[in-house]
Amino acid sequence: MEDLKIVFASNLIKLRTGAGLTQAELAEKISYSDKSISKWERGEAIPDAYVLKQLSGLFGVSVDALLSEEEGWKKAGPDLHQKMQYSQRFLILCVIAGIFTLCFLEFVIVWAVAGVLHWLMLYAGIPCSLIVLLVLNTVWYKGRNNMYIVGMLVASVILFVYLLFLMLGKDLWQILLVIIPAEIVVYLAFHIRRRKKPETQEK
């Protein structure tokens, strides 16, 4: 039994770190305390079948794999994860580059046809890119660092509104002051945590 605890602890550490999760983040995903995760990773206990099934689905491995020393999946898992992240990052960069290319194309067309330089068209690529980044980051990276992305998105939208008024000949610089309370709201919103029932914290 002690060997099984150690095997599970090793597998859990490898899978958790390979997925880029902290003990607290993993605990939140399965509605347990980080103390429980720490206990499992120290080889002091093994979770019940329900939690093993949760972990199995979360990491995309079988329950048997969680409890066995199968070198094949241990070696292939992290490499595959790294390759997927590598491809995803390049896809995100390609999409963002595509957005800025479309904005630049629109800028050039208006410049060539109307003879007017609308620099705001180029700036529009920033909030659009951040929206796409937010969606892809939520889907592929479980929302890690979403707080920073949303913060930049909010600031860029407010700045866009200011530049729009500036282009219309109205220097309403006071609009920029809204960034401060808006960023505070974003910070507080991302630190709201669901309270967990005490009786389900430790198993």
pLDDT in tens, 70-107: 544 444 444 445 555 567 778 888 988 999 999 899 88
d(CA 104, CA 117) in angstroms, rounded, equals 11
For the cut 60, the answer to whether the pLDDT of residue 203 exceeds it is no
Place of tokens 């999760």: 21
Amino acid at 128: C
Greater model confidence, 117 or 158 = 158
Average pLDDT over residues 172-181: 92
Closest to 22 (Cα-Cα) out of 190, 144, 180: 144
Q: What share of the chain is helix, strand, coil (3-state, %, to 5)?
A: 75, 0, 25
For the record, the structure tokens of 40 come out as 């499992």
Q: Is the dihedral of CA 87, 92, 96, 102 positive or negative?
A: positive
pLDDT at residue 202 in the model: 45
CB-based burial label for 133 (10 Å; 0-12, 13-18, 19+): buried
- Find the length of the chain: 203
- The verdict on pTM exceeding 0.95 is no
Q: Is the dihedral of CA 195, 196, 198, 201 positive or negative?
A: negative
pLDDT at residue 84 in the model: 54
Greater model confidence, 143 or 175 = 175
pLDDT in tens, 14-47: 888 888 888 888 988 888 888 888 888 888 888 8
Q: Output the furthest CA–CA distance in the chain (Å, rounded).
A: 78
pLDDT class for 151, splitting at 50, 70, 90?
very high
Query: Please, what is the angle between helix 179-189 and helix 146-167, to 10°?
Result: 160
Q: Is the dihedral of CA 49, 53, 58, 61 positive or negative?
A: positive
pLDDT at residue 155 in the model: 94
Average pLDDT over residues 7-18: 87
Average pLDDT across the chain, whole number: 82
- What percent of the chain has pLDDT above 70? 85
Closest to 145 (Cα-Cα) out of 158, 134, 156: 134
d(CA 105, CA 121) in angstroms, rounded, equals 9
pLDDT class for 183, splitting at 50, 70, 90?
very high
Average pLDDT over residues 167-190: 90
pLDDT class for 196, splitting at 50, 70, 90?
low
Q: Residue 10, Cα to own-chain centre: how many angstroms?
A: 25
